Structure 1
């Protein structure tokens, strides 16, 4: 069996100039729970998730995605990953060590080929979480993270080779070639995906709701708060999940979703979906048709590359 150290997506960390505005958005409008803060850093948990936090916000004069974090099966897997990355010439941000973020744990950080920081950790303490009640429109967990890349094929191969991700499905266009690769580290359709974009950046971070009722109520709450809806509500074909894409106060795309497909991995064969078929983008037909202007909403600003965040 190939080396498959990754168990799940842990958190997405963002740096922003207007810290308090971003903090208020995630804690009030988006429905996350602030669990800790320390000198311009705030940590937000999803009430239904045992993860210590799913979003970290840090004050910085430059907007950027600080890192994306994944869970590992064991400390031994973290150590083995560090050795394998070193042998392949991958630049480490730091060697495996004890972590001082909420929940602690043992992890390493490295740069992927695009220059974004990736954290992989094990033995992180879990958080007391609870069942999300019917019609309670707060995120259950962080569902998935999608990034933009100018070389999505190369980045896909990196995550498959080094982190053991498996390709689930591909979006393509007859005119532009492959546009998005969905990657999984568990039976969930995808925890990570790579989109073709004009520069390296965060495409979107997605948050799972309890069900369709809660998903729609969360969408409505965000709209009533004046949050900019960029696409949706609708239901994708690949993954079979619902989508409502919004912009946070700094232009990062965040998504409410639910009912992401759970696969029978032994029977699954990767599919290819043509984005020019409107059903591929939205089975319901309720969202605006995919267009160049809609696609540009998820390009985001160019990220800070090959520079580790201070914390």
Structure 2
């Protein structure tokens, strides 16, 4: 029933610094604010916001939000999850975040708070022009999991996610699973990691020129680059990874693959092959430095619902 990814919400100790980064160098727009909370929109997206930032003592993932088509789908999915033993944070109800709507929240198998919603008002948005290097929309979110096989099974069984591709390594086995809810190659991916945490959040740019312009702007601003620019094989999308002020990895991407649901068969890619990580060969090598940065800090929000 899930149609798309809506927004990713982060709690951080220094809200002002985090907001300045996302609305300055990164190119999002402050659409709504409240006490200790900022709702940031992508100029080309109809979603009310794609990132929510909240002032908090601890850095954490507050929430990952997905949309469904109708309020009836919200009720059906909430009832199904409750019957299957999934812990609901709250039952379906009117939402009081920007755009309103109707939704519910629950904990996934590792304790992340997930929101499902429908009937959220569409934001006035615009077409991004040629050469304009700002995010068009939220592309996907990748999470680290200490038990990725169980996490994959949770999202496939309870939420209907479908497998697109898998990354593996000859010594380490399967390492990342790309999951989709629509024709985009992935809206979520699950990476094997030492602890549950955010791996990265990705933002779609208008095209290759805008993607490179945005990458260059961040480099000139002195933002720490982790990996890229390059083009992955799984998903066929470009990538440039940077660290935000609190050590979360953020990605600029474009040209994420669209799959044909009727003919697609998942691939098993060996990422020890350099062309799997980067078809172009332009990015710095995937190594222990990149991996450590992507592990992030252990998430302190597991099984603790955010107050907003």
Q: State the TM bucket, normalised to the shorter chain.
A: over 0.9
1:206-236 Cα deviation digits (max 9, x unpaired): 0000000000000111111111000000000
**How far did 1:60 drift?**
0.4
Determine helix, strand or coil for the equivalent of 1:120. Answer: strand
1:150 equivalenced with 2:146 (yes/no): yes
Partner of 1:214: 210
> Taking structure 2 as the reference length, what is the TM-score of the superposition?
0.99
Partner of 1:60: 56
| Aligned residue among 45, 67, 73 for 2:69 | 73
Determine helix, strand or coil for the equivalent of 2:212. Answer: helix
Aligned partners of 2:87, 2:252: CA distance in 1, in Å? 34
RMSD (CA atoms):
0.6
Partner of 2:102: 106
Aligned partners of 1:294, 1:144: CA distance in 2, in Å? 19
**How far did 1:74 drift?**
1.1
Residues 93-172 of structure 1 mapped to structure 2, 5 A cutoff: 93-172=89-168
> Taking structure 1 as the reference length, what is the TM-score of the superposition?
0.98
1:113-143 Cα deviation digits (max 9, x unpaired): 0110000100000001110000000000000
**How far did 1:72 drift?**
0.8
Determine helix, strand or coil for the equivalent of 1:23. Answer: helix
**How far did 1:148 drift?**
0.2
Partner of 2:305: 308
1:191 equivalenced with 2:182 (yes/no): no
In structure 1, runs of 5+ residues without a counterpart are: none
Partner of 1:225: 221
- The aligned length equals 307
1:177 equivalenced with 2:191 (yes/no): no
**How far did 1:174 drift?**
1.3
Aligned partners of 2:114, 2:25: CA distance in 1, in Å? 27
Partner of 1:288: 284
Stretches of 4+ aligned residues off by more than 6 angstroms: none
Partner of 2:81: 85
1:45 equivalenced with 2:41 (yes/no): yes
| Aligned residue among 191, 196, 199 for 1:203 | 199
**How far did 1:290 drift?**
1.1
| Aligned residue among 264, 267, 277 for 2:263 | 267
Aligned partners of 2:126, 2:49: CA distance in 1, in Å? 14
Determine helix, strand or coil for the equivalent of 2:24. Answer: helix
Aligned partners of 1:135, 1:15: CA distance in 2, in Å? 32
Aligned partners of 1:82, 1:294: CA distance in 2, in Å? 38
Aligned partners of 1:296, 1:19: CA distance in 2, in Å? 24
**How far did 1:182 drift?**
0.2
**How far did 1:264 drift?**
1.1
Determine helix, strand or coil for the equivalent of 1:180. Answer: strand
1:88-111 Cα deviation digits (max 9, x unpaired): 111111000000001000000000
Aligned partners of 2:191, 2:138: CA distance in 1, in Å? 19
1:227-246 Cα deviation digits (max 9, x unpaired): 10000000000000000000
**How far did 1:297 drift?**
1.1
